[in-house]
Amino acid sequence: MSENYTYKLSVVIVNYNVEHFLDQCLDSVRRASVNCSLEVLIVDNNSVDGSLVMLAEKYPEYPVIANKENVGFSCANNQAMRIAKGEYVLLLNPDTVVAEDSFSKVITFMDEHPKAGGLGVHMIDGKGNFLPESKRGLPKPMVAFYKIFGLSKLFPNSKRFGQYHLGHIKEDETSKIDVLCGAFMLMRKSALDKVGLLDEDYFMYGEDIDLSYRIQKGGFDNYYFPETSIIHYKGESTKKSSVNYVFVFYKAMVIFARKHFAGKQAGLFSFLINAAIYLRAFLAVVSRILKRLFFPVIDFLYVTGGLFALTNYWKMSNIEFPEALIKYSIPIYAFVWIITSFFNGGYDFPIKLFKYVKSVLIATLIILVAYAILPKDYQFSRLFIFAGAGWTLVYFFVSRFFLHFAVGKRFRLFKTGKRSFAIVAKNEEFERIKVLISQTHSNIDEIDQVETQKEQLPQLSEIIFSAADNTYGEIIQRMRDWKSSDHDFKIAPTAGSVLIGSNSIDTAGDLYILNLNALSSTENVRKKRLFDVSFSIALILSIPITIFFFEKKGNFVRNLFRILSGKLTFIGYTDTEMKTDVRLPKIKVGVISPSEVIDSSNESIREKLNLLYARDYSMRKDFSILLKSWGKLDVSKV
């Protein structure tokens, strides 16, 4: 190590409200630091989730820069890099897990390659899948064109079309690359002294590309080094279907082009990027709409066609249908049956047939009520409504059985909903994690113990690794060996009731505590919103009467319209608990909280009530809380 440096390696981690991920990351860093001369510099961007308390209690040896505001990724990293005293500097995301040999291997490689200015490693997501952003090419105009218009996806291994993710370079092949990923970005300090730090003009994304390019321009090489692997829960693909991602990511590319490309090349790049922004944004919106509406639209067409076929049967019996019924009522009937199934979870996976029975019964009741208040001229036959309901139910059953046998996978029926667990741990940790699972999951099929050295793939839906009984290197290797779409991976830290994992490259890292993801499920998010819309409309219509029951009438009316617009929800957590308790799934600020039912001032009781609300959410629970505490709907919510 050069005399100019105090340490061989400086590890820089920027944190913002990811306490438990940061804890796991630092635990892996601490294990990897054995026999390594390193310093760890943590920058906290004004987190409110307890991160600073956790750092003081569990990692007092690591210095922390506690910013009073969120200064952004680039600025925060630069704060630490300016005071770093290592020969090498590693920018490491808090949602990563490094293997015990990661630091020693990358340092050895850099020592042996003095021309190496930067290095990235083999990264996997929370399902064990290789992350293609581990190795990237420079986004020159044609490279950007191939990526923007999908050619890189069609020909991922092509040396020409797959340049963005360098698909021609094998996953296990050490090679020179252009761009390092900011999740694990190892750089030679002398190279940074020459080319500068991160460019703070980038709001999000692009700063790693910019610095990687400047390292190359400074006369150094960047390398992809696959001889050690890390977990990166979030992954570059997070929320790529969102319009916001499209604008932020490609705007960063425009900044890059203006800065590094000259003349016509920069103009061409900017034109391509700006054209791509609106094209990809439009496609992102259309794609999301089509994915959500494809099956409901198909079902609507089939149900409507069947209803028209039923009218022919009536006509064969010399019963004439009013023209208005043919034109308007039949599509409306079909729409009510389909939309009720949609809101009742009929289009969620796994498919559950009882939801269709329930949906058709509710929709039929709605149609009959509406039918009863219609003028006599528009009433025709209740028997037709019952026949239509029967046809709709038959269609749902037949079509879902067809999908079950013809397609399978997520369309499979008869799933019990029970989960089976494999715990990779020794006896003491196995019992601890088993008790935790048993207390927090209601639908358990089996919980098996798997030996830490076992090579065979456990055929179970959820695989949980004990961090106490497995090295992180072993966990990463097992995830690579056992990766499958049929099960998920979680890591249980040495203590506490936390399970950390990620079920998809397209989702951020997930925090699993007390099975609290119930409230954040697709079905419950939809049900909660339906509850808010329905009851806010009902109360708005009743304002001429209900307003006299409230002292703060303006607040009451304002809250109802903010709930209807989606800015508030009827039932939620208190503002303080919502911001500080990372265990709670994120929802809108509530006018009423579960703790107000018993008017509790005890912080511990309020905490437990919120946890129970998140774990066992139902529309019935919302209705019960609203019924008991509706007098507090005039509380001011900023």
pLDDT digits (tens, 9 = 90+) for 360-377: 999 999 999 888 887 776
CATH number at residue 469: 3.40.50
Whether 153 and 225 share a structural domain: yes
As to burial, measured by CB atoms within 10 angstroms (0-12 exposed, 13-18 middle, 19+ buried), residue 601 is exposed
Residues 296-314 pLDDT 10s: 999 999 999 999 888 877 6
- Which residues have C-beta within 8 Å of that of residue 446, sequence separation ≥ 6? 420, 421, 460
In terms of pLDDT, which residue wins out, 20 or 280? 20
Closest CA to 637 of 578, 567, 548, 566: 567
In a domain, 498, yes or no: yes
| Whole-angstrom distance, CA of residue 229 vs CA of residue 480 | 10
Q: Name residues whose C-beta falls within 8 Å of residue 583's C-beta, 6 or more positions apart in sequence.
A: 511, 513, 514, 516, 611, 614
Mean pLDDT, rounded, of the chain: 83
Who has greater pLDDT, 381 or 144? 381
Please indicate, yes or no, whether residues 177 and 311 belong to a single structural domain of this protein: no
Region for 606 from its dihedrals, namely left if φ exceeds 0, alpha if ψ lies in -120 to 50, beta otherwise: alpha
Statement: residue 252 has pLDDT above 70? no
Residue 637, domain member (yes or no): no
Helix (H) or strand (E) holding 14: strand 7-15
In terms of residue numbers, what domain contains 604?
Answer: 522-632
Positive or negative: CA dihedral 605, 532, 18, 513: positive
What's the pLDDT at 122?
97
Select from 104, 80, 74, 92 the least CA-distant residue to 184. 92
Per-residue pLDDT, 616: 75
42 and 154 belong to one structural domain: yes
> Which one of 446, 478, 513 terminates a domain?
513
Per-residue pLDDT of 120-134, as tens digits, reads 999 999 889 999 999
- pLDDT over 90 at 106, yes or no: yes
- Last residue within a domain, chosen from 173, 207, 235: 235
Return the pLDDT at 524: 85
Residues 403 and 428 in one domain: no
Residues 77, 213: one domain? yes
- What is the distance between the alpha carbons of residues 598 and 114, in angstroms, rounded to a whole number? 67
Residue 449 and residue 304 share a domain:
no
Q: What is the pTM of this model?
A: 0.72
More confident residue, 280 or 362: 362
Does residue 536 share a domain with residue 503? no
Residue 229's pLDDT is: 97
For 189-210, the pLDDT digits (tens) are: 999 999 999 988 775 667 888 8
The segment with the largest mean pLDDT, out of 64-73, 103-112, 347-356, 494-503, is 103-112
pLDDT at 288 (0 to 100): 75
Closest Cα to residue 479, out of 90, 26, 33, 131?
131
Q: Is residue 2 part of a domain?
A: no
Q: How far apart, in whole angstroms, are the C-alpha atoms of residue 60 and residue 489?
A: 30
In a domain, residue 394? The reply is yes
Whether residue 68 is found in the same domain as residue 192 = yes
For residue 500, give the H/E element and its range.
strand 498-501
Please, what's the b/e burial string for 345-358 (b: 16 or more CB within 10 A of its CB; e: otherwise)?
bbbeeebbeebbeb
19 plus 141 within the same structural domain: yes
| Model pLDDT for residues 529-565, shown as the tens digit of each residue | 989 999 999 999 999 998 988 999 999 999 999 999 9
The sign of the dihedral angle between the CA atoms of 622, 625, 630, 632 is negative
Q: Nearest 5°: CA angle at 255, between 252 and 256?
A: 90
Contact by Cβ (8 Å): 411, 351: yes
Which of 180-184, 233-237, 572-576 has maximum average pLDDT?
180-184
Minimum mean pLDDT range among 246-260, 386-400, 548-562: 246-260
SS3 318: coil
pLDDT of residue 292: 83
Rg (C-alpha) for the chain, rounded Å, is 29
The pLDDT confidence band at residue 246, using thresholds 50, 70 and 90, is low
Q: Is residue 562 part of a domain?
A: yes
In a domain, 286, yes or no: yes
Structure tokens at 244: 């916001």
Phi, psi (5° rounding) for residue 35? 65, 15
Q: Which of 386, 414, 442 is the last residue of a domain?
A: 414
Q: pLDDT at residue 55 above 60? A: yes
Q: How confident is the model over 91-106, as a mean pLDDT?
A: 96
| Residue 134 in domain | yes
Beta bridge partners of 6: none
**pLDDT above 50 (res 506):** no
498 has which bridge partners? 513
Alpha-carbon distance of 363 to 346, in angstroms, equals: 13
Residue 238 binned pLDDT confidence (cut-offs 50, 70, 90): very low
Closest CA to 259 of 195, 177, 178, 201: 201
Asked whether the predicted pLDDT for residue 236 surpasses 50, the reply is no
CA distance 558 to 543: 12
DSSP 3-state assignment of 439? helix
Beta strands in 32-115 (DSSP E): 38-45, 64-67, 86-92, 96-98
Label the pairing between strands 419-424 and 221-232: unpaired
Q: Looking at residue 325, what DSSP letter applies?
A: I
Q: What is the mean pLDDT of residues 236-240?
A: 43
The percent of residues in the chain predicted with pLDDT above 90, rounded, is 43
- The predicted structure's pLDDT at residue 376: 72
Confidence of residue 442 (pLDDT cuts 50, 70, 90): low
> What integer is the mean pLDDT of 13-36?
92
- Is 568 a domain residue? yes
pLDDT tier for residue 587 given thresholds of 50, 70 and 90 = confident
Q: Are residues 216 and 258 in the same domain?
A: no
Tell me: pLDDT of 514 over 50: no
Q: Same domain for 393 and 256?
A: yes
Q: At 189, which CATH number?
A: 3.90.550.10
pLDDT at 212 over 60: yes
Q: How confident is the model at residue 507 (pLDDT cuts 50, 70, 90)?
A: very low
Q: Region 153-170: what's the mean pLDDT?
A: 79
Helices (H), 122-206: 141-148, 151-154, 189-195
Q: Which two tokens stand for residue 451?
A: 């030996």
The amino acid that residue 203 corresponds to is F
Give yes or no: residues 321 and 447 share one domain: no
Q: How many structural domains does the chain have?
A: 4
